[in-house]
């Protein structure tokens, strides 16, 4: 059974200060997880995690990760701006984007970020708007050569990201002619898999590709970014990925493929979002209505605007009815929000303890791609973000939106 990282008694105190709904983050869990990741890849002198800002774009969270030695991966102008304000710069920023506007490249260049090109046509575009840096990365799409157990993005040939291999060869040579001296290789292939074999399998493909590129172009390969994709166990019966085993699997591939090829000083980067933050955030919400028609419904003060993964993907998020965790799960509910859309459901036919109006519910694993994917449909206002600090106190790290925020961009 999944257990929340916060107790009912703690939540009652927190909700006296911050009304539901809100996203709550566990600082201790975040820090411990970051340290474990660094331990798993400590065998590589240049290892660095570039946290995917898109997963949880909050400056306080980014600062915690910065203190744990992480960099940031940005995909847009505003993510670059936020990272700059937090204090990231230079090699601590990886800029990975697609269909990139010129303003984004201009700021990435100004911040001296590592630019990760998504398409061969972006070489000329980047040169025109910001110039070609000496250190640059390219994103590889291996097409049908890669498969995973992932059901969201398991066919790279259908994904919009990256260069083909022939384009990588052409692109590296072109970039060398334009002054690039050190190269990185990157791939973005899976969105959530807990299989320990995934990262080592991806590493082998990228390591073999790096060796071929080095031989064909003479390019210096300085780093290989394994991107994201390490998932979390959303369901209680699922086992988490073993990051120590994953790190060891990547090390074995490194020793087998890169070292004999003379590429024994290549730095390994990761670009994790969900793995870093997912389990260490939850959506705290209150049951405000119950409805009995053809099915039994529990209506919450949160909705898909607070967490859209169930509505968008049909994704499972575990739900705890606080204080009733040990009671029989003998009531079947659809757990819904108040949007005028029938997919506004956090759970369908979910077996839970009897829910009463006023009960506090915790929706698990919203620390990544939770608040970040929120929106204002039906005029719903974005919820607050609260940090449960290591000493047990709480800190408001983003206030809830108000109607004034919603109307601020309108001419009325």
Which tens digits make up the pLDDT trace of 169-190? Answer: 999 999 999 999 999 999 877 6
Q: What is the pLDDT of residue 191?
A: 66
Q: Are 25 and 386 in contact (CB under 8 A)?
A: yes
Query: Both tokens of residue 170?
Result: 């052409």
Q: Which residues contact 13 (CB under 8 A, 6 or more apart)?
A: none
**Res 157 pLDDT > 60:** no
Q: What is the pLDDT of residue 153?
A: 42
User: How does DSSP classify residue 256?
Assistant: I
Residue 5's φ and ψ, nearest 5 degrees, are -85, 5
List of residues 6+ apart from 176 with CB closer than 8 A: 217, 218, 219
d(CA 394, CA 210): 46
Domain that holds residue 65: 27-278
Percent of the chain whose pLDDT exceeds 90: 89
Residue 369 lies in a domain: yes
Q: Is the separation of the CB atoms in 276 and 54 below 8 Å? A: no
Q: What is the dihedral of CA 146, 147, 151, 155, to 10 degrees?
A: 40
pLDDT on residue 198: 87
Selected catalytic residue, list 70, 138, 282, 340: 340
Q: What is the pLDDT of residue 186?
A: 95
pLDDT of residue 150: 42
Q: What is the pLDDT of residue 1?
A: 78
| pLDDT, tens digit, 9 for 90 and up, residues 278-316 | 999 999 999 999 999 999 999 999 999 999 999 999 999
Res 192: pLDDT:
77
Answer yes or no: do 159 and 49 share one domain: yes
Last residue of a domain, one of 278, 306, 322: 278
Q: What is the mean pLDDT of residues 197-218?
A: 94
- Do 168 and 157 lie in one domain? The reply is yes
Q: Is residue 3 part of a domain?
A: no
pLDDT in tens, 232-255: 999 999 999 999 999 999 999 999
> Is residue 127 domain-shared with residue 249, that is, in the same domain?
yes
Q: Would you say residue 401 has pLDDT above 60?
A: yes
Looking at the structure, tell me whether residues 221 and 288 fall in a common domain: no
Extract the tokens encoding 147: 């498969």
Structural domain count, the chain: 2
CATH number of residue 390's parent domain: 2.40.37.10
Helix 27-40 vs helix 59-67: crossing angle, to nearest 10: 40
* DSSP conformation letters of 283-343: EEEEEEEEEESSSEEEEES--TTT--HHHHH-----EEETT-TTS---EEEEEE-SSSSTT
Name which residue leads in pLDDT, 159 or 333.
333
3-state DSSP assignment of residue 233: coil
Residue 385 domain-assigned? yes
Q: What is the pLDDT of residue 46?
A: 97
CA–CA gap between residue 87 and residue 96 (Å, rounded): 19
**Residues 239, 324 within the same domain:** no
Confidence of residue 194 (pLDDT cuts 50, 70, 90): confident
284 and 202 housed in the same domain: no
Tokens linked to 119: 């398409």
Strands 182-187 and 135-140: parallel
Q: Residues 290, 330: one domain?
A: yes
Q: Is the pLDDT of residue 390 over 50?
A: yes
Query: Under 8 Å CB-to-CB from 356, ≥6 apart: which residues?
Result: 287, 290
DSSP reduced 3-state for 27: helix
Q: How far apart are CA 401 and CA 199, in angstroms?
A: 39
Residue 257 DSSP label = I
**CATH code for position 130:** 3.20.20.10
DSSP letters spanning 35-94: HHHHHHTTTSTT-EEEEEGGG---HHHHHHHHHTT-EEEE-SHHHHHHHHHHT--GGGEE
pLDDT at 149: 47
As a residue count, the chain comes to 412
Per-residue pLDDT at 159: 65
Helix (H, G, I), strand (E, B) or coil at 314: coil
340 flagged as catalytic: yes
Residues 201, 83 share a domain: yes
Q: Taking a C-beta distance cutoff of 8 angstroms, is the pair 196, 239 a contact?
A: no
If residue 204 lies in a helix (H) or strand (E), which one and from where to where? helix 198-217
Burial class (CB in 10 A: 0-12, 13-18, 19+), 349: exposed
Q: What is the pLDDT of residue 411?
A: 87
Sign of CA dihedral 335, 337, 341, 346: negative
pLDDT in tens, 323-359: 999 999 999 999 999 999 999 999 999 999 999 999 9
The model's pTM is 0.94
> Do 35 and 47 share a domain, yes or no?
yes
Average pLDDT, the chain: 94
Residue 310 lies in a domain: yes
E-strand stretches of 293-383: 296-300, 319-321, 331-336, 345-352, 360-363
Whether residue 194 lies inside any domain: the answer is: yes
Q: Write the pLDDT tens digit of every residue in 80-107.
A: 999 999 999 999 999 999 899 999 999 9
Q: Which of 83, 90, 137 is nearest to 112 (CA)?
A: 90
In a domain, 2, yes or no: no
Give yes or no: residues 372 and 257 share one domain.
no
Read off the DSSP letter of residue 400. Answer: P
Cβ–Cβ < 8 Å for 75, 113: no
The whole-number pLDDT of residue 190 equals 66
Which domain-ending residue is among 226, 249, 278? 278
Return d(Cα 108, Cα 131) in angstroms, integer: 11
For residues 225 and 96, membership in a common domain is answered with yes
Q: What is the pLDDT of residue 195?
A: 87
- The single residue listed with the structure tokens 């997963």 is 55
Q: Would 85 be classed as within a structural domain?
A: yes
Of 411 and 225, the one with more pLDDT: 225
Residue 351 class from Cβ within 10 Å (0-12 exposed, 13-18 middle, 19+ buried)?
exposed
Is 1 a domain residue? Answer: no
388 forms beta bridges with 26, 394
What pLDDT, in 10s, does the model give residues 310-324?
A: 999 999 999 999 999
User: Domain end: 278, 310, 325, which one?
Assistant: 278
Q: For 100-154, what is each residue's pLDDT tens digit?
A: 999 999 999 999 999 999 999 999 999 999 999 999 999 998 876 555 444 434 5
Mean pLDDT of 1-17: 95
311 shares its domain with 184: no
pLDDT band at 155, cuts 50/70/90?
low
């Amino acid at each position: 059974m999944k257990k929340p990282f916060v107790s009912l008694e703690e939540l009652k105190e927190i909700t006296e200060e911050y009304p539901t709904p809100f996203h709550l983050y566990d600082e201790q869990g975040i820090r411990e997880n970051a340290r474990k990741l660094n331990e798993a890849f400590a065998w590589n002198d240049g290892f660095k995690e570039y946290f995917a800002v898109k997963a949880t774009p909050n400056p306080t969270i980014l600062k915690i990760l910065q203190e744990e030695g992480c960099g940031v991966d940005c995909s847009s102008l505003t993510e670059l701006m936020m990272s700059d304000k937090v204090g990231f710069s230079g090699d601590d920023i990886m800029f990975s984007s697609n269909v990139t506007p010129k303003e984004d490249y201009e700021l990435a260049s100004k911040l001296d970020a590592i630019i990760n090109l998504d398409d061969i046509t972006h070489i000329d575009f980047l040169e025109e708007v910001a110039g070609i840096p000496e250190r640059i990365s390219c994103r590889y799409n291996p097409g049908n050569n890669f498969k995973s157990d992932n059901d969201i993005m398991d066919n790279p040939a259908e994904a919009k990201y990256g260069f083909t291999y022939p384009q990588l060869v052409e692109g590296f040579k072109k970039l060398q002619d334009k002054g690039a001296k050190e190269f990185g290789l990157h791939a973005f292939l899976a969105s959530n898999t807990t299989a320990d074999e995934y990262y080592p399998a991806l590493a082998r493909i990228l390591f073999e590709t790096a060796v071929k590129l080095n031989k064909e172009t003479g390019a210096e390969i300085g780093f290989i970014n394994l991107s994201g994709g390490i998932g979390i166990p959303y369901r209680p019966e699922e086992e988490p990925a073993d990051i120590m085993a994953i790190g060891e699997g990547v090390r074995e591939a490194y020793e087998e493929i890169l070292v004999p090829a003379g590429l024994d000083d290549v730095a390994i980067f990761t670009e994790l979002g969900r793995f870093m933050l997912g389990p260490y955030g939850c959506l705290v919400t209150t049951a405000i209505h119950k409805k009995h028609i053809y099915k039994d419904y529990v209506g919450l003060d949160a909705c898909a605007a607070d967490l859209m993964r169930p509505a968008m993907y049909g994704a499972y998020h575990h739900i705890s009815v606080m204080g009733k965790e040990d009671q029989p799960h003998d009531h079947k509910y659809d757990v819904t929000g108040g949007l005028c859309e029938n997919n506004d459901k956090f759970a369908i036919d979910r077996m839970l303890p009897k829910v009463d109006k006023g009960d506090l519910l915790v929706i698990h694993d919203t620390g990544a791609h939770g608040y970040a994917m929120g929106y204002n449909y039906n005029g719903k206002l974005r919820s607050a973000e609260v940090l449960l600090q290591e000493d047990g106190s709480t800190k408001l790290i983003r206030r809830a939106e108000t109607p004034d925020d919603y109307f601020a961009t309108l001419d009325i």
